[in-house]
A and B are shown apart, each in its own frame.
Chain A
Amino acid sequence: MNDDSTGDGPPVPGSQWYDADAGPLVRPYAVTGGRTKPGPSNVRFDLIALVVVDDEPPGPAEEALLGPEHRSLLALCRAETQSVAELAADADLPVGVVRVLLGDLLESGFVRVSRPVPPAQLPDERILREVIDGLRAL
């Protein structure tokens, strides 16, 4: 899973001193500055929480201050409303890292995060019906 994160160009056989077993070349939490939890807002991003670009995001000047990983996440959100899981897969970053980065984006007002359906109140019958019909029609 990590072999594609190792740089440019085709690898010359025998030239690599590390392999997939060595883990990613850049430690995942390096891009979060070592933070393993989202910031003070204390949001727990569910895997299927949907991330939407804020209607009134901060200006380009502030965006320029973001790191490359923050910006690539933001670009993915702009393209389409996506779940945390999809963002992680598309950005090729572990979910834990994406949660921290999204916490930053949420706090600085770039994105909003929708809460998934809480366990106690599963969707009503009408929605389930719609899901069943939708599956049939696929």
Chain B
Amino acid sequence: MNSIVVTGATSGIGLETVRLLAGEGYHVLAVGHIQTHCEKADRDIRAGIHDAKIEWYAADLMQQREVIRVAGEIKSLLDERGDGKLYALINNAGCARSWYMTTEDGYEQQFALNCLAGFLLTHELLPYLLKAKGRVIMTSSRSHKGIKVHWDDVMLSKRYNPLTAYKQSKLCNILFAQGLNDLYASEGLRAYAVDPGLVNTDIGNKTAGIVDFVWRLRKRHGVSPTVPAKTYSYLCEHTKAPTGLYYYLCKERSYSKQVTSESAKRLFALSGQLCGVHYGKDAKR
């Protein structure tokens, strides 16, 4: 049975993706922020799928020590119960903020969770993904278009604009997928970014003022999270991995011209420095 890790699994897109993948017979390792929310999501899914194979992990992925801890727990489980292979990692956990706030590491929260958490978790699980010739899927967004990465101040602490920070983090998701493909596609690993479209989820609930207004507008015409969940399932189901990079409604779409291998390399160098890890030969087992 193929194992898939899904982060941000207790609500919205993550929850529906876990439900769909569990229904399709995958062994899902679901990571949520809060223990009680994990328990609730578990009951909710099992009410419909009695034989669902799901393990839940509660972790605040914004904090790097929590990413390392939960990665350790996942690795132990893959070693003990499986063949040491991870079929797919869905880096879906994300947040929106309306003020500059930092994580324990002092990193801007949207950049830390939406971008660095996936970078670090993928690094920790990379040997397992490579062994399975697996897939890494990032939850990006159409809002990545029309902006550039602020390389000189990636956390935007000189002039913080919460919506820019969000969009930039979603652009970084595609850059990360691009960078992973550049490094590991030759070894059978594939990475994708998904545009979920306008979806009615809980994201943006912890905002106020103008940012809250923008998120309410965005979500008003949003579809159910069951719609984007199908794209994640689509990217997991083929025996031969699809070769595109950016997907919306199960189809390859065009993305920003800012997504280049050169920028991806730059993001890997920066994120590697901020996470204290290095992708390369030493990342393999």
Chain A complexes with chain B: no
Which residues on A are within 8 Å of B, measured CB to CB? none
